[in-house]
Amino acid sequence: MSSEEDFSLVDPQQSEDTLEGVHNLITKQKKTYDQLLEEQKDLRNSRDDRREMTKQFKQRTEKLTLDSKKDELSYRDQLAQEKKKVDQMKQEESDLMRQIQQVQDAIKEEGDQNDYLREQADVIKAMPDKKLVFKGATAKGADWEVFEMRSEVIYPMEGGTALITFEEEDVAQNILDMKTHHVTLVEDCSITVESRAVQLMLPSVVEIDSSVCPNRILVSNLPKMDEETLKNKLEIHFSKSKHKGGEVDECEYLPDSGTVVITFVEDHIAKCLTETEFHDVKMDKRNSHRVRVTPFLNGKITNLKTRMSTCPRTVLLTGIPQVMERETLQDLLEIHFQKTNNGGGEIEAIVYNPLDQSTAAVFRSVSDDAQEE
């Protein structure tokens, strides 16, 4: 049998009373003690291993935490750099979009400019030929005169009024300063009139934008013939498709320029006809006449500024009663205001409008002055 087995032929209670039994018991307890020491050693070793493992885990955990913080800082730096790159790309994209918009605006502006120049070329082309004869004197460039535009103003006259234009401005001012005038008509009969300044609204700035009309043409270089016959011949010619024409809506003769304006029903007809400047129109069975066809221009006032101007030589007389014939009363007024002892002077023109009648006077503005025509 093995020594580790708890087996004996002697009764345990009886063996403790003997020396041999005590010796066996001591041996047994020693073995148990050795086992306990061995177990304690194993436990101590296991504890040390656990502590070492814990220490290693702790060191590893600290290292992992430190690496994690480093990775986090690196990630944040990388994220900040990437965000900066994204912001730079967005800025570059914004700059590119702005440049693209500027290029598109420049292209549109160039296109508008080209359209404007093309339209201006059409406008210049549309100007009808007119022969001019220069009768002035030539001079050096420093002696040139300023171009002046005369504007005509229709001045409505109320009944019982008169307009008198004097040759001298001082006379007109003297009449205005006197205000009230007693005009003798016949012996022991006179009328009282008042003098007032004439105020006219005149244009100071006029800007007109011209454009080509899409459905009209201007026909010039016309022969001298009956107006209705001429319009009929032109309408017949330009209404035929073989002449690139079309249905005519209206044919109007302009007597001041000796030209004809033809209006078509469709817009594209006018452009087709103006592509050919000269057209041979059959005026009778044997003869044809070459006319010039140009675009018709529409004018639109884009800027208009006005100013009030006082006529320096013209005065308005009011409160004139209708007591005699128009011509007789007008002559008496002219006689009265032509006399120097009445404050008057030489009269250039006079217009009298009786009561219950309406008329208008035409004033012509020259520079800053106003005159009655």
Q: What is the pLDDT of residues 108-138, one digit of tens each?
A: 999 888 877 776 666 665 555 556 566 666 6
Give per-residue pLDDT as tens, 199-253: 888 888 888 887 888 899 999 999 998 999 999 999 999 999 999 999 999 999 9
Give per-residue pLDDT as tens, 39-79: 998 898 989 889 999 999 999 999 999 988 988 998 999 99
Task: Count each helix (H run) and each strand (E run) in the chain, helices first.
Answer: 6, 11
Token pair 């520079």 is at which residue? 367
SS (H, E, C) 26-93: HHHHHHHHHHHHHHHHHHHHHHHHHHHHHHHHHHHHHHHHHHHHHHHHHHHHHHHHHHHHHHHHHHHH
For residue 26, give both structure tokens: 């001591």
Q: Which of 196, 230, 220, 189 is nearest to 323 (CA)?
A: 189
Q: Amino acid letter at 204?
A: S
Q: Are 154 and 307 in contact (CB under 8 A)?
A: no
Residue 310 has pLDDT above 80, yes or no: yes
Distance of CA 210 to the CA centre of its chain: 17
CATH topology of domain 206-303: Alpha-Beta Plaits (3.30.70)
Nearest-Å Rg of the Cα atoms of the chain is: 59
The phi, psi pair for 337, rounded to 5°, reads -85, 0
The phi, psi pair for 43, rounded to 5°, reads -65, -40
Burial 236-253 (b: 16+ CB within 10 A, else e): ebbbeeebbbbebeebeb
The confidence band for 287, taking pLDDT boundaries of 50, 70 and 90, is confident
> Cα separation of 84 and 18, whole Å?
96
Q: Which of 293, 281, 278 is nearest to 220 (CA)?
A: 293
The helix/strand/coil state of 317 is strand
> Cα separation of 45 and 39, whole Å?
10
What percentage of residues in the chain have a pLDDT greater than 90? 44
pTM for the model? 0.47
Work out the mean pLDDT of the chain and round it to a whole number. Answer: 84
Instruction: List the chain domain ranges.
Output: 21-126, 153-202+307-366, 206-303
